[in-house]
Amino acid sequence: MTMRADAVQTGPATDPHCALALLRAAPPERERRSPAWNSLSDAVAARARLFRLSMLAYVALLIAAIFGGLMLGSVSIPAGTVLRVLANAALGDGWIEPDWRAAHEIIVLQTRLPRVILAAVVGAGLGVAGMVIQALVRNPLAGPSILGVSSGAAVGAVLTMRFGLTAFGVFTLHLSAFLGGLVTLALVFWVARTGGQIAPTRLILAGVATSAVLSAFTALMVLTSPDPQLAARVLFWTLGGFASAQWALLPIPVAALCLGLGVLLLQARRLNLLLAGDESAAALGVDIDRFRRSMFVLTAAITGVTVAVAGVIGFVGLILPHIVRLMLGADHRVGLPSVAVLGAGFTVGADLVARWIIAPLELPVGIITALVGGPFFIWLLRREAWRMRG
């Protein structure tokens, strides 16, 4: 768990923004004509083109997944009908003559559209949280669940279902899951703190141990419950899904993603510095312990909100940051928006497969992401072993 990925190394030659700053420094004419400077300029231009092409591909994937999610399911709706229903809803009545069944409009606007939006927000949030956590602990095998936040959120939700708590109505389950994740994070920080500082390796071990204890506690509550239906509800919730999506639940996760991503983009330079090591980052003016603590709290909040609205969906925050880094490098200023779009498209696609594969029944989304992410995780382990052996 202490190995580092070569993909997260950065420097002036691979950081397009750093190279751009050098270009703006306007060196003497003879230096601009030097082979080294020309090579750097070409590298910056190539990296910028790669970023644009990658973002176009990610956006295309997201759009295709969204339209697939709106069209396919237990009831198939033609693409033309979906487009006209969306256009009529956006432009208002009178612009398009309704020629579709009323049931199709209800399915698209009230059932599938909020579900697709929720899946996109959850995937983007998990992808962003995973990329930041891997940078904070400098470990390619870390993810949002590494801190025990997902397990803590699950315990909070199961407590609500187990004892029938309804103090905040429909939001009780989501609020309890969010608070459970934050309390778990505070516990992990307390366990991992030593000498006034939080070591990344100790934090990972504390998160793994806490997750194991909380998972056992969740199982104990389910097995001792007098409600025979609780096990089925908890099983589906802990494996993740978007069946409960509705418009009223969207504002909180959307706001959490937008605010969290905005703050992380503002801190992208410090995240880049942290990849070079604590000593180098501290020498450049970063308060390592304070910065790492604040970023962990922010990623835990994003993860807690996603778990609160969709359950535990694994491997999204593990595999997608690797794909982005392999394609675009380690610069978080381009990596964070890229992994957000890619994560949104991946999760919407996984939800589409979960609804379509055994329609009219549906699988938990966590099963689909695990079937994709599990082999990728094994490949990561073997890749590190081959690199160390070579």
Compute the mean pLDDT over every residue in the chain, rounded to the nearest whole number.
83
For the chain, how many structural domains are there in total? 1
Task: Find out whether the peptide bond into 360 is cis, omega within 30 degrees of 0.
Answer: yes
pLDDT range class, residue 23, cuts 50, 70, 90:
very low
CB atoms within 10 A of CB 76: 9
Q: Does residue 16 carry a pLDDT above 60?
A: no
Question: How far separated are the first and last CA of the chain, in Å rounded?
Answer: 19
The residues pairing with 198 across neighbouring beta strands, listed in sequence order, are 193
Q: Is 279 domain-assigned?
A: yes
Q: How far apart are CA 4 and CA 383, in angstroms?
A: 12
Question: What sign does the dihedral 158-353-116-125 (CA atoms) show?
Answer: positive
How confident is the model over 108-134, as pLDDT tens digits? Answer: 999 999 999 999 999 999 999 999 988
Q: Residue 181: give the domain boundaries.
A: 6-389
pLDDT at position 93: 75
pLDDT at position 42: 67
CB atoms within 10 A of CB 216: 10
Q: Is 192 domain-assigned?
A: yes
Q: Is 1 domain-assigned?
A: no
- β pairing state of 197-198 and 193-194: antiparallel
Q: How far apart are CA 210 and CA 146, in angstroms?
A: 10
How confident is the model over 199-240, as pLDDT tens digits? Answer: 777 888 888 899 999 989 988 988 888 888 888 778 777 788
How confident is the model over 292-332, as pLDDT tens digits? Answer: 889 988 988 898 888 888 988 988 998 899 889 988 988 99
Residue 54, token pair as written in the block:
């990658």
Phi then psi for residue 266, to 5 deg, are -65, -25
Annotate 346-364 with DSSP letters as a single string: HHHHHHHHHHHTTTTS---
What Rg value do the Cα atoms of the chain yield, rounded? 23
Q: How many percent of the chain have pLDDT more than 70?
A: 87
Q: One-letter amino acid identity for 34?
A: S
For 320, counting Cβ atoms within 10 Å of its Cβ (0-12 exposed, 13-18 middle, 19+ buried), the class is: buried
Of 27, 23, 61, nearest in space to 40 by CA: 23
Distance set, CA 140 to CA 48, 131, 331 (Å): 25, 9, 15
Q: One-letter amino acid identity for 220?
A: L
Q: Does residue 25 carry a pLDDT above 60?
A: no
pLDDT at position 249: 87
The residues pairing with 194 across neighbouring beta strands, listed in sequence order, are 197
Q: How far apart are CA 383 and CA 12, in angstroms?
A: 26
Of 306, 340, 303, 315, nearest in space to 122 by CA: 306
Query: Alpha helix locations (H) across 72-171?
Result: 79-91, 102-106, 113-137, 149-163
DSSP structure class, residue 171: G
Query: Alpha helix locations (H) across the chain?
Result: 16-24, 29-32, 35-71, 79-91, 102-106, 113-137, 149-163, 172-192, 200-223, 230-238, 251-266, 268-275, 278-283, 288-310, 316-328, 332-356, 365-389
Residue 205, token pair as written in the block:
């071990």
Residue 132: CATH number of its domain: 1.10.3470.10
Q: One-letter amino acid identity for 41?
A: S
Assess contact for 87 and 96: CB atoms under 8 A.
Answer: yes
Q: Is 370 domain-assigned?
A: yes
How confident is the model over 243-289, as pLDDT tens digits? Answer: 889 998 899 999 999 999 999 999 999 999 988 888 888 888 888 88
Distance set, CA 356 to CA 112, 157, 237, 279 (Å): 13, 27, 19, 50
CB atoms within 10 A of CB 150: 33
How confident is the model over 130-156, as pLDDT tens digits? Answer: 999 889 888 777 788 777 888 888 888
Q: One-letter amino acid identity for 178?
A: F
